[in-house]
């Protein structure tokens, strides 16, 4: 590689997004790149000329290891949708001026759908203006909703935390000899990959959730209450996993249902209370049992103490593969993960995965939902195919570097 | 030991209460006890003749190891306050008939304040009726509110989870370049030991919570809003740890403040929304920034995947010491933990702890609060003395036995 590298992180953080950053940094340095700059707070920060020289921050292999184990986005992030060139050409000019000023030859953006849209637009602009800069997207999202790639770095660790936590919550809920219903609210407004991961808790030592509600299908309050009451006739303690985005047939989100639980923030935005709270309230009133709502909240995306080693390694590999692809001359592509162990059900315990590249135009702005055939509508659960798909992604652990009883992270740069 | 043993678990579960059960079982067997019976759902279940022979369930050292790593109460639990003898003598007769039927010589109850009251009452009744049964209390509570003992098994693991999670939440909250306030709600209605543990997150790699509110002092909404606004003038992202039990000077809990957020369950009980939600709502309205409320909920008491090895060992030792004390003829006593490394500040990294026994009459029904001199009212934090006290208790880890990507627990008996 010749010239300098610019890398940024965008969208919601994950437990392993920094492992992809480590993969980009280390591989670029190994391949002889000049400076590796990190934009602070993504492309939005770059527009304000916020960036650092990563080589000045990451001095040792120990720091790389700490980076891989540090949750959230080391460089900060943004939720910024790059406007179309036609509407605001000056933004593109500003960005490319910065690229030229820093002698950037390689641009990597670690993120989800919106971030891939950024890569697409910058790459298209670059091509149209004879830029030699290569633009590569590195996938990241706990939601696992990117198309083409078998799965997305970040998903496995969130799924592992959800599986482990669901198992612990189920144990906890059994403790008293009385009827109770616990509703666990899990992220994923439009797709149920994370909510389905609650099913990973099921095994010889755990019954798993009694019901699972994904946002891919419509939610019926009557059916929910009827099923819950019916199950509770035979089993005192029920645990139900729901997506934050479950919605009625008419499109209204469950979290919007109770008028008196909305409130308005300082910007006049309506803030919604959680769907789990609404369901716990309805079940308490109508079934007449103790209920509890548990929102896993941001813990599910930042619990690096419970990260999947498979995920950490794949996140690193995705970053490394991005650099190699750019070095080989590719641009306007996203790194994808390919499950090479495929459908070899003869030996399902073997999991193998490799990287490839794919045209960003066919990925950006799309959303991969859980296939309907993986949703068991009869029992409101997910099928064995779902579990077989997700299980290898939560495999193995990378022990945190524990100092004074807590996981040590890398020091802040933001 | 001659004769049989009866052991029960009571009150809220912890990540390590089963380690105490393992300590009782293994030590009793080692000392030659006959059968070791476990009451199911505590003394309340025993009144319905619910019990098992633990020797039929725990066959191997592997099962003991799984038990030590399994959260929640293996035998189930109850929240049952034994009535006074004068009001319901028949309950005592029923229990002692069961003890005699099972040839019980040793009775162990693993629990908190209410459970120690049970030991006290049974022991007093036994003494008055010339029973030879020995009654010993084994301390357990995440709240750390038992008197005399330096700390309580269960606290260290909850504190470790709170410290690690607070650290991850703080990282996560920094990610966007915009003003935001995150309120973390932590258990402990009357005592702030758990909430103070959020301060353990502070170190070279983490700024720690910006404000900490314990229930030992009165909460002022005006002061909270003023401090938060003032801090945010210099720091965009604030994380504030609060106890679920913070209350105004007039005694009202913060979680009771907003009339329209109460609802009534099927039994006519008012269910309270969390204090964190109330504060997040007020801060959003009056400071005008993005806010988020995170309730750690039952995760803080059941997250055995993040248990403290110090805590697991001490929980086991407390159970073992209970059996040894009973074998030596003691009764009407609770096991206490004594920090033998004491105040030797010359070498604070050395932590040593041993067990002793103490008269149950001087412990039951009391509540140990955080000393006021460990609360930094000027900055709304806890002092270094608090951190020095709590830090050794979260020390080291016992790796979960991971199977297919998740911690394996022992199989259910309830």
Model pLDDT, residue A262: 52
Whole-complex ipTM: 0.95
Using a pLDDT cut of 90, give the percent of chain A over it.
89
Q: Whose structure tokens read 């406007």? A: A83
b/e for A271-293, b at 16 or more Cβ within 10 A? Answer: bbbbbbbbbbbbbbeebebbbbb
Taking the model in full, what pTM does it have?
0.96
pLDDT at B120 over 60: yes
Neighbours of A91 (CB within 10 A): 17
Residue B142 labelled as part of a binding site: yes
Give B-chain residues touching A232 at CB under 8 angstroms. none
Model pLDDT, residue A364: 84
Interface test with B, best of A205, A406, A408, A411 (most B CBs within 10 A): A406
Q: Are B407 and A164 an interchain contact pair (Cβ–Cβ within 8 Å)?
A: yes
Q: Are B205 and A305 an interchain contact pair (Cβ–Cβ within 8 Å)?
A: no
Edge to edge, the sheet with strand A51-53 lists A51-53, A36-39, A4-9, A104-111, A134-139, A333-339, A353-359
**Which of A194, A258, A186 is closest to A221 using CA atoms?**
A258
Report chain B's mean pLDDT, rounded to a whole number.
Answer: 94
Q: Is A221 helix (H, G, I), strand (E, B) or coil?
A: helix
pLDDT, average across residues B64-86: 96
Shortest alpha-carbon distance between residue A174 and chain B (Å): 7
Model pLDDT, residue A296: 96
Q: Are B263 and A285 an interchain contact pair (Cβ–Cβ within 8 Å)?
A: yes
Taking the domain A155-302, which CATH number applies? 3.40.50.460
Greatest CA separation for chain A: 71
DSSP B168: H
Spatial CB neighbours of A355, under 8 Å, sequence gap ≥ 6: A317, A318, A321, A335, A336, A337, A338
Q: Which chain B residue has the Cα nearest residue A75?
A: B175
- Are B105 and B2 in contact, with CB atoms under 8 Å apart? yes
Task: Give per-residue pLDDT as tens, A164-196.
Answer: 999 999 999 999 999 999 999 999 999 999 999
Task: Give per-residue pLDDT as tens, B369-390.
Answer: 999 999 999 999 999 999 999 9
pLDDT, average across residues A32-54: 98
Model pLDDT, residue B350: 84
Task: Give per-residue pLDDT as tens, A382-395.
Answer: 999 999 999 999 99
- What are the residue ranges spanned by the domains of chain B? 4-141+304-365+396-407, 155-302
pLDDT at B272 over 60: no
Does the active-site annotation cover B117?
no
Model pLDDT, residue B348: 62
Q: Are B302 and A171 an interchain contact pair (Cβ–Cβ within 8 Å)?
A: yes
- Are B310 and B351 in contact, with CB atoms under 8 Å apart? yes
pLDDT, average across residues A108-132: 96
Model pLDDT, residue B270: 55
Q: Whose structure tokens read 């030592």? A: A205
Model pLDDT, residue A341: 84
What is the distance between the alpha carbons of residues B389 and B2, in angstroms, rounded to a whole number?
40
Q: Which chain B residue has the Cα nearest residue A299?
A: B169
Q: Which chain A residue has the Cα nearest residue B200?
A: A406
Q: Which residue of the set A114, A143, A210, A311 is catalytic?
A: A143
pLDDT, average across residues A333-351: 79
Model pLDDT, residue B268: 53
What is the distance between the alpha carbons of residues A164 and A188, in angstroms, rounded to a whole number?
18
Q: Are A177 and B397 an interchain contact pair (Cβ–Cβ within 8 Å)?
A: no
What is the distance between the alpha carbons of residues A58 and A413, in angstroms, rounded to a whole number?
11
The mean-pLDDT minimum among A264-273, B241-250, B295-304 falls in: A264-273
Model pLDDT, residue B322: 98
Task: Give per-residue pLDDT as tens, A200-255.
Answer: 999 999 999 999 999 999 999 999 999 999 999 999 999 999 999 999 999 999 98
State residue A389 phi and psi, 5-degree precision: -70, -45
What is the distance between the alpha carbons of residues B218 and A352, in angstroms, rounded to a whole number?
57
Helix axis angle, A113-128 relative to A89-101, nearest 10°? 80
For residue A318, the surrounding DSSP H or E stretch is helix A309-327
Q: Which chain B residue has the Cα nearest residue A174?
A: B76
- Are B280 and B293 in contact, with CB atoms under 8 Å apart? yes
Judge whether B4-141+304-365+396-407 and B155-302 match in fold.
Answer: yes
Q: Are A175 and B72 an interchain contact pair (Cβ–Cβ within 8 Å)?
A: yes
What are the structure tokens assigned to B277, written together?
A: 């939600």
Kindly indicate the confidence band of residue A347, based on its pLDDT and cuts at 50, 70 and 90. low
Task: Give per-residue pLDDT as tens, B287-317.
Answer: 998 999 999 999 999 999 999 999 999 999 9
Inter-chain Cβ pairs, chain A and chain B, closer than 8 A = 226
- Are A48 and A76 in contact, with CB atoms under 8 Å apart? no
Residue A148 labelled as part of a binding site: no
What is the distance between the alpha carbons of residues A125 and A117, in angstroms, rounded to a whole number?
12
What are the structure tokens assigned to A108, written together?
A: 């990597």
Give B-chain residues touching A200 at CB under 8 angstroms. 405-406
Q: Which residue of the set B117, B143, B210, B311 is catalytic?
A: B143
Q: Is A277 helix (H, G, I), strand (E, B) or coil?
A: helix
For residue B22, the surrounding DSSP H or E stretch is helix B17-30
Query: Regarding the domain delimited by B4-141+304-365+396-407, which CATH topology (the fold level of the hierarchy) does it fall under?
Result: Rossmann fold (3.40.50)
Q: Are B271 and A285 an interchain contact pair (Cβ–Cβ within 8 Å)?
A: no
Give A-chain residues touching B303 at CB under 8 angstroms. 165, 168
Model pLDDT, residue A146: 96
Shortest alpha-carbon distance between residue A104 and chain B (Å): 24
Kindly indicate the confidence band of residue A355, based on its pLDDT and cuts at 50, 70 and 90. very high
Closest Cβ–Cβ partner in B204, B302, B308 for A168: B302
What are the structure tokens assigned to B180, written together?
A: 């935001």
Taking the domain A4-146+307-365+396-407, which CATH number applies? 3.40.50.450
pLDDT at A96 over 90: yes
Shortest alpha-carbon distance between residue A142 and chain B (Å): 14
- Are A82 and A96 in contact, with CB atoms under 8 Å apart? no
Task: Give per-residue pLDDT as tens, B321-365.
Answer: 999 999 999 999 999 999 998 665 556 678 999 999 999 999 988
Give A-chain residues touching B412 at CB under 8 angstroms. 174, 205, 207
Q: Are A281 and B271 an interchain contact pair (Cβ–Cβ within 8 Å)?
A: yes
State residue B212 phi and psi, 5-degree precision: -135, 125
Q: How many helices (H) and strands (E) does chain A have?
A: 12, 17
Q: Whose structure tokens read 């909305």? A: A262
- Are A385 and A348 in contact, with CB atoms under 8 Å apart? no
Spatial CB neighbours of B338, under 8 Å, sequence gap ≥ 6: B149, B150, B353, B354, B355, B356
């Amino acid at each position: 590689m010749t010239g300098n590298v610019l890398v940024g992180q965008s969208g919601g953080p994950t437990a392993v997004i920094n492992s992809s950053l480590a993969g980009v940094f280390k591989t670029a340095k190994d391949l002889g790149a000049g400076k590796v700059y990190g934009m602070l707070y993504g492309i939005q920060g770059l527009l304000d000329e916020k960036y650092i020289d990563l080589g000045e921050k990451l001095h040792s292999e120990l720091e790389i290891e700490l980076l891989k184990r540090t949750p959230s986005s080391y460089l900060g992030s943004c939720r910024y949708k790059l406007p179309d060139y036609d509407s605001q050409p000056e933004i593109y000019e500003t960005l490319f001026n910065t690229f030229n000023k820093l002698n950037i030859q390689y641009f990597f953006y670690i993120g989800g759908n919106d971030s891939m849209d950024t890569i697409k637009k910058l790459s298209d602009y670059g091509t149209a203006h004879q830029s030699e800069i290569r633009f590569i997207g590195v996938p990241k999202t706990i939601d696992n909703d990117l198309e083409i790639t078998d799965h997305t770095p970040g998903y496995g660790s969130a799924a592992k935390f959800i599986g482990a936590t669901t198992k612990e919550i189920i144990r906890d809920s059994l403790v008293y000899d009385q009827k109770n219903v616990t509703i666990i609210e899990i992220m994923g407004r439009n797709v149920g990959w994370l909510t389905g991961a609650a099913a990973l808790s099921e095994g010889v030592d755990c019954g798993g959730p009694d019901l699972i509600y994904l946002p891919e299908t419509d939610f019926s309050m009557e059916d929910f209450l009827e099923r819950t009451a019916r199950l509770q006739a035979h089993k005192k303690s029920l645990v139900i996993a729901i997506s934050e985005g479950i919605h009625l047939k008419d499109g209204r989100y469950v979290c919007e249902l109770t008028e008196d639980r909305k409130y308005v923030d300082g910007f006049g935005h309506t803030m919604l209370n959680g769907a789990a709270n609404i369901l716990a309230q309805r079940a308490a009133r109508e079934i007449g049992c103790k209920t509890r709502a548990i929102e896993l909240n941001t813990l599910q995306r930042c619990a690096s103490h419970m990260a999947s080693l498979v995920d950490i390694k794949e996140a690193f590999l995705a970053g490394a593969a991005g650099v190699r692809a750019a070095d080989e001359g590719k641009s306007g592509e996203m790194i994808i993960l390919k499950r090479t162990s495929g459908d070899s059900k003869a030996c399902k315990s073997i999991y193998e995965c490799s990287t490839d590249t794919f045209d960003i135009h066919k990925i950006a702005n799309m959303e991969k939902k859980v296939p309907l055939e993986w949703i068991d509508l009869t029992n409101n659960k997910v099928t064995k195919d779902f579990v077989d798909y997700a299980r290898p992604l939560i495999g193995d652990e990378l022990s945190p570097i524990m100092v004074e009883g807590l996981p040590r992270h890398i020091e802040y740069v933001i």
